[in-house]
Structure 1
Amino acid sequence: MAVSPGPRRCGSMSPDGILTEIQVNLLECKVCFEKFCRQQRDRRPQNLPCGHVLCLECITALSHPLLRKLECPFCRQLCSVDSTSHCQVLCDLQELLFSWSSTSSAPPHRAKGGLSLATGVTSSALHLSAAFGGWGTLINPTGIAVLGSSGTIVVVHDGEKSVVLFSPQGRKLNCFGQRGQASGELCYPVDVAVTPCGHVVVTDAGDNAVKIFTSRGNHVLTVKDSFQMPWGVATDSCGHLLVTDVQAGTLFHVKVDYTRGVTLEHHASISELQHPKAVACCQVTRNTAVMEHLTDDTHPPERHRHTRLKVFSQDFRLLYQTDSFSLTLLSTARLNMSGVAFDADGHVLVTDSERGMIWSLGKLQDGPVLTPLVGDHLIRPVGLVSLNNMLIILDSGDHAVKIYSAKSDTGSTIQA
């Protein structure tokens, strides 16, 4: 039996913390986010032939009605519905935990203050208030952005139509971006940003281009000049584009006339970066943050991931930098930074895709102040947006958008 993904961070956790990890990571379906339940037929955990576990309802929904086969949402193995079996061990484990909680005066739960680390620092009181998407609605999502005051959430993923727009409540509003190289089509979308006037900007690594659409999906412009492999994209308050080129090692600054659909200016603002990917622009200070992925020729890259964060001023002067190794010295955890964003106060936020966490690094002028913000219900966060005292996080681990707020009422789950 394999449940994707497995429990994390158990080495230094208390017994209550371990029990909570079991409940979150083993006893809920990672497609629909519903708890397994042996009393409800559709919620019973079922083993797929590949070893992963889904609830019966999701197996039925994902399988072909005639062929009775489905692709495992985690490992992509083709599985026969007739070869699935009831996962008795998870039912027994759930029954055991229920019996324990009914007799214990202190049932397992997550502390109100959030995830406690061995350093003694605790996260702010951010709680999961909504989650939507799931396999099928989103497939291996890679980029997220939010459209201004409307709160419309834009995600790029590997589905048939690569760009999906959701309401703040998780209802699918629109989707566009058919796979292909023609005008208005996308080959391999990586990241997405939105402009103040409501345009959607997508980096297409397959076509080595940046493609601009209206929010309704109408193609406005394709920018291909000088790009070798565009990756991350952000917009400043004027609607100008900041695009990282992972192969050229460059941050490009692009000015566009969206009304006429023409490029006004396109130049390299920063060169000699090492595999830059994620990029963010602070709407308060207008500083730009870029995440570099450093290479280590002496070790396999899958064993020694090393990232460096650089923050530049509005005129692209380097203000400060830090890297994953330096940040590890401030904590007992080895950080694997991937995504980056700014909050409303100008603090730098980063995703930790290995530990499934969101960290605040502060404003960095006097050095980073490492503070965990979110550590619950995240698997592999790859992107985030800070908006109205909320964090909107893209979790590629279970193909979902997750919204965290300071409210104490948790557990609201919306399925698009």
Structure 2
Amino acid sequence: MAAKALHSDSLCHMFLRPIRSDLLECKVCFERFSSEQTGRRPRNLPCGHVICLGCVCALAHAVLRQLECPFCRRKCDVGGTYDCQALLDLQDLLGSAERPRYSLNVSGLLRLQNTFGGWGELINPTGVAVLVSAAVVVVHGGHKKVTMFNSQGHYLHSFGYYGNGRSDLCHPLDVAITPIGHVVVTDAGDHSVKVFSSRGTPLANFGPFELPWGVDVDKCGHILVTDAQAGLLWQVVMDHRCSVVVAKVVVLKDLQCPRAVASCRVSGRVAVLEAQRQHNGNSIPARLKLFSKDFVLLTQVDCFSLNLLNPMELHISCVTFDRKGDLIVADAQQGLVWSLSDLHKTPTLSPLVKARLERPVGLVATEQNSLIVLDSGDHTVKIYSTSADDSDGPKRSKSI
């Protein structure tokens, strides 16, 4: 394992070396750019070439405050130069990559506390949410497509037969809970979003969408729905007491195959995961975008950027916020869960779960500081906690 980690580090350095020499050094003085407030900050010239601030000052006329680009000879004013933010961000990412990273044999911070569900009770689960009562709600492909378990993992009840009726579900993809405990389900089968009581009574049905996928409820009680095919994020305002849709508006456009959506109960920020896709024969990696509560883009990161922070190739499959407002992501291909901390600042990858997961497709961070993971690999719900003692192995709940 140590040899593999060393090999990964060697490959990482081989990959990063040309980036540092080709992009992260000034081609006038050949000094490395710096993100600090010094003379080595990369500066964009109006012609598009980049040199460091020190060379801008050295090449500029002392009185006229003008300089000539050393590459294309175009003249410009010193005041017309500005920080090259793309290179500053890349510099920060590479600086993070050079810091000590977690090796593959380091355990995650969370321990498996309980496992429930399994084939038969859950069939190809796709979404998970938690009621205020701590009951766990899962949507899946079974005979009844919404199944509830209590906080100990014992089966409670199910609803949502396959069909096109008001109380039916065709192909549910995700689930969320309203402030008063109603269950919101995206149904890709009939391109709608459906709202039920916790007992399964149909309350509302709205659409149409092209391909409704992810759903969450923000701190104001508004429903957020991604349309993966149309590239949109919808906000649906409901009178939950009367189960009436008050407004349905597009809040984000031009998204690329948006799937998971998560709203932070602390800050109101919204995270949208754009899935990996093919374009003109090329594979475009998944991308995570973070927006303010007013849907202004704050930052974005893709798997390529995250791979600079970690020797493993990451494939984000789902996202949630913890009770402090930090982002948590899961990797369905490698069975891992990571904390991204505050993505609006420099992202920091910290392992949370590195064992006993096969294919995590859903995440919920609870107020009790536990993490609920929906594992479609073995059709189970797994609860992790920092306080669980797993010396005797995880508990396995049975149906009652």
Residue in 2 that maps onto 1:98: none
- Provide the rounded CA distance (Å) in 2 between the counterparts of 1:169 and 1:305: 40
Residue in 2 that maps onto 1:379: 358
- Provide the rounded CA distance (Å) in 1 between the counterparts of 2:233 and 2:304: 23
Residue in 1 that maps onto 2:206: 223
- Provide the rounded CA distance (Å) in 1 between the counterparts of 2:317 and 2:213: 13
Residue in 2 that maps onto 1:389: 369
- 1:141 matched to 2:125? The reply is yes
* Contact 1:241 1:253 (8 Å CA) reproduced: yes
- Provide the rounded CA distance (Å) in 2 between the counterparts of 1:392 and 1:12: 31
- 1:51-62 pair list within 5 angstroms: none
- 1:363 matched to 2:342? The reply is yes
AA at the equivalent of 2:379: H
- Provide the rounded CA distance (Å) in 2 between the counterparts of 1:391 and 1:263: 32
Residue in 1 that maps onto 2:274: 292
AA at the equivalent of 1:314: K
Residue in 1 that maps onto 2:177: 194
Residue in 1 that maps onto 2:244: 262
TM superposition shift of 1:288: 0.4
- Provide the rounded CA distance (Å) in 2 between the counterparts of 1:413 and 1:327: 34
AA at the equivalent of 1:323: D
Residue in 2 that maps onto 1:130: 114
- 1:343 matched to 2:326? The reply is no
1:240-263 residue CA offsets vs partner (Å, 9 max, x unmatched): 100000010000000111222221
Residue in 2 that maps onto 1:166: 149
TM superposition shift of 1:235: 0.1
- Provide the rounded CA distance (Å) in 1 between the counterparts of 2:121 and 2:101: 34
1:24-53 residue CA offsets vs partner (Å, 9 max, x unmatched): xxxxxxxxxxxxxxxxxxxxxxxxxxxxxx
2:288 alignment partner, one of 304, 309, 325: 309
Does the residue aligned with 1:296 lie in a helix, a strand or coil?
strand
- TM-score between both structures, scaled by the size of structure 2: 0.72
Does the residue aligned with 2:275 lie in a helix, a strand or coil?
strand
- Provide the rounded CA distance (Å) in 1 between the counterparts of 2:365 and 2:334: 20
- Provide the rounded CA distance (Å) in 1 between the counterparts of 2:248 and 2:326: 29
Residue in 2 that maps onto 1:352: 331
* Contact 1:229 1:247 (8 Å CA) reproduced: yes
- Provide the rounded CA distance (Å) in 1 between the counterparts of 2:329 and 2:166: 34
Does the residue aligned with 1:234 lie in a helix, a strand or coil?
strand
TM superposition shift of 1:133: 0.5
* Contact 1:197 1:239 (8 Å CA) reproduced: no
- Provide the rounded CA distance (Å) in 1 between the counterparts of 2:152 and 2:380: 13
1:124-165 residue CA offsets vs partner (Å, 9 max, x unmatched): 5311010001100000000000002x1110000000100001
TM superposition shift of 1:413: 1.4
TM superposition shift of 1:379: 0.3
Gaps of 5+ in 2: 7-99
% same residue? 47
TM superposition shift of 1:10: 11
Gap change, CA 1:180 and 1:269, over 3 Å in 2: same
Residue in 2 that maps onto 1:152: 135
Does the residue aligned with 1:285 lie in a helix, a strand or coil?
coil
* Contact 1:190 1:203 (8 Å CA) reproduced: yes
| RMSD of aligned alpha carbons | 2.1
- Provide the rounded CA distance (Å) in 2 between the counterparts of 1:121 and 1:329: 19
1:183-216 residue CA offsets vs partner (Å, 9 max, x unmatched): 1100000000001100000000011000000000
- TM-score between both structures, scaled by the size of structure 1: 0.69
Does the residue aligned with 2:396 lie in a helix, a strand or coil?
coil
TM superposition shift of 1:174: 1.3
1:177 alignment partner, one of 160, 164, 167: 160
Select between 260-269 and 152-161 the one with higher mean Cα deviation: 260-269
* Contact 1:361 1:370 (8 Å CA) reproduced: yes
- Provide the rounded CA distance (Å) in 2 between the counterparts of 1:13 and 1:167: 41
- Provide the rounded CA distance (Å) in 2 between the counterparts of 1:255 and 1:123: 42
2:232 alignment partner, one of 250, 263, 268: 250
AA at the equivalent of 2:377: G
Q: Which has the larger radius of gyration?
A: 2
TM superposition shift of 1:120: 7.7
1:347-393 residue CA offsets vs partner (Å, 9 max, x unmatched): 00001001100011011122210111101100000001001110000
